[in-house]
């Protein structure tokens, strides 16, 4: 029975990677750099694999990239308000270096969305107005990040009892246990 919740997690995240309106499509990524302050931001789930590895994209000049160089440990938070289900993950983030994989992913991005990775200025730079944003013509700062989780927590709020399950990766196997909500 406890593995059923892990299968539900996999199924929902697989759907979220392909369905643009799925509540898990946009999730919260937490990083902690040398400042030792948790930094949270929303990112888009781009791919999901059955071993729970997932992919998102970012600008290679973003602050999260500095944090990941300082500390590869990340936290992820997914929430579905319709089912009152929350999934928390802890994992290791890696920058994908494979040029073929990067080129393939870039080709799959809609043309209008590509500009998110082609700003002249670094993300977080001050602007007098959003209309002053300039874009590069033949250069991009597109980056792929994969997260390999080692801990997953499932919480569903329901009556008469909430369900909370903690999974840990041990010897290449996911071991689960029910925990108090």
Give pLDDT tens digits for 125-156: 898 888 888 888 888 999 999 999 999 999 99
What's the mean per-residue pLDDT of the chain?
94
Predicted local distance difference test score (pLDDT) of residue 134: 87
Q: Are 118 and 141 in contact (CB under 8 A)?
A: yes
Predicted local distance difference test score (pLDDT) of residue 132: 83
Pick the CATH number of 2-122+136-178 from 2.30.110.10, 1.10.4160.10, 3.40.50.300, 2.40.128.260: 2.30.110.10
Q: Residue 95 pLDDT more than 90?
A: yes
**For residues 21-44, average pLDDT:** 95
Q: Look at the block and give the residue holding tokens 């928390």.
A: 88
Predicted local distance difference test score (pLDDT) of residue 40: 96
Confidence of residue 122 (pLDDT cuts 50, 70, 90): confident
Q: Are 141 and 107 in contact (CB under 8 A)?
A: no
Contacts of 73 (CB under 8 A, 6+ apart): 32, 90, 91, 92, 93
Q: Residue 42 pLDDT more than 90?
A: yes
Predicted local distance difference test score (pLDDT) of residue 145: 98
Q: Are 58 and 143 in contact (CB under 8 A)?
A: yes
Any alpha helices (H) in the chain, and if so which ranges? 2-18, 63-70, 99-108, 111-114
Percent of the chain with pLDDT over 90: 79
């Amino acid at each position: 029975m406890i593995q059923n919740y892990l299968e539900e997690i996999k199924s929902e995240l697989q759907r979220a990677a392909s369905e643009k309106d799925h509540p898990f499509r946009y999730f919260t990524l937490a990083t902690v750099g040398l400042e030792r302050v948790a930094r949270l931001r929303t990112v888009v789930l781009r791919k999901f694999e059955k071993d729970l590895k997932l992919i998102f994209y970012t600008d290679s000049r973003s602050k999260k990239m500095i944090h990941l160089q300082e500390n590869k440990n990340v936290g992820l938070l997914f929430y579905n308000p319709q089912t009152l289900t929350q999934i928390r993950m802890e994992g290791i983030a890696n920058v994908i270096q494979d040029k073929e994989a990067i080129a393939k992913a870039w080709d799959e991005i809609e043309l209008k969305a590509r500009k998110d990775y082609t700003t002249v200025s670094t993300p977080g730079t001050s602007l007098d107005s959003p209309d002053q944003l300039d874009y590069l013509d033949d250069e991009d700062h597109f980056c792929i990040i994969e997260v390999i989780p080692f801990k997953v927590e499932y919480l569903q709020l329901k009556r008469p009892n909430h369900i909370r399950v903690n999974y840990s990766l041990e010897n290449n196997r996911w071991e689960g246990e029910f925990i108090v909500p």
